[in-house]
Amino acid sequence: MTSSSTEGFDPRALASRLYDLQKNARKARTAEFTLPATLQEAMDAQNFLAAQERISSRAWKVAMSPDGQPVTAPLHPYSEANSGATIAWVGGIKFEAEIAVRLSKDLPVRKDGSYSRSDILAAIGDAYLGAELLASSIEENGQISFLLYLADRIGNRGYVLGPSVPKDVIDSVGETPLRVTHNGQTIYDGNARHPKGDVLTWLLDYANDRLRPGTSLKSGDLITTGTLCGAIELTAPGTIDIVLGEAARLSLSIA
């Protein structure tokens, strides 16, 4: 039976359970877990999970909880390759094409939460086309407990960083054609569309979160900003080819 209580919650135990499920390509229902009751408990479990996975890359995803709290999770496995990258297949895996940005300046916590969009843009050194793969060890993903899903790294199961793109794509990506094929079959063909319209929305919200760690958003960090095509379920392994605009291309394999 599901329980959710700060008293008796063990973030290490939750991390170990999630790690074992992931390692054995298995899922469990939300009702089978003792749930984190607070954002801090969920992040403690996420950090212990990242330690068990030996995640060392400085690559992150930003998102928003259902109640409007900015959240992050590390991207793993993470690779930087214009082609030839491979992510392991699991049933129900989903794909997202995204814009990622690398910070060239620190964005320290401001107690007044006063960062503007132009501040964030000025701190970005480079922009890239990227691909995120999503799968969760939780049957319902985050539909019942977002905090449990947050502990499971918000469903991230891999990220491939593709070629750099002009920085002004950050402002114009909603007018940029995006085409994605899977094993030669088109699975998305239209203009890129971010859920919030602006790819910097969640990064700006996180930058202005006064409770985020002081070690976050440092120069050199890579941040992926959210899907441009929705989350597309892949019904079989194979090759994904992404074309953004006329020149940015990224290929990867789900094996």
Question: What pLDDT is recorded for position 7?
Answer: 62
202 burial class (0-12, 13-18, 19+ CB within 10 angstroms)? buried
For 6: left if phi > 0, alpha if psi spans -120 to 50, otherwise beta; the answer is: alpha
How do beta strands 177-182 and 70-74 pair? unpaired
Residue 83 confidence (pLDDT): 62
Specify the pLDDT at position 199. Answer: 97
Alpha-carbon span 183 to 241, nearest angstrom: 8
pLDDT digits (tens, 9 = 90+) for 118-162: 999 999 999 999 999 999 999 999 999 999 999 999 999 999 999
The alpha-helical segments, DSSP class H, found in the chain are 11-23, 39-52, 117-123, 146-151, 169-172, 201-207
Q: What is the dihedral of CA 212, 216, 217, 218, to 10 degrees?
A: 150
Q: What's the pLDDT tens digit per position in 38-47? A: 999 999 999 9
**C-alpha atoms less than 13 angstroms from C-alpha of 138 in its C-beta half-sphere:** 27
Q: Pick out the chain residues at pLDDT < 50.
A: 1-5
Q: Cα dihedral angle (241, 132, 163, 59), rounded to 10 degrees? A: -160
Label the pairing between strands 238-244 and 124-134: unpaired
Phi-psi region of 174 (alpha: psi -120 to 50; beta: other; left: phi over 0): alpha
Rg (CA), the chain: 18
Look at residue 142 in the predicted model and tell me its pLDDT: 94
Domains plus CATH for the chain? 56-254 (3.90.850.10)
Confidence (pLDDT) at 4: 47
pTM over 0.75: yes
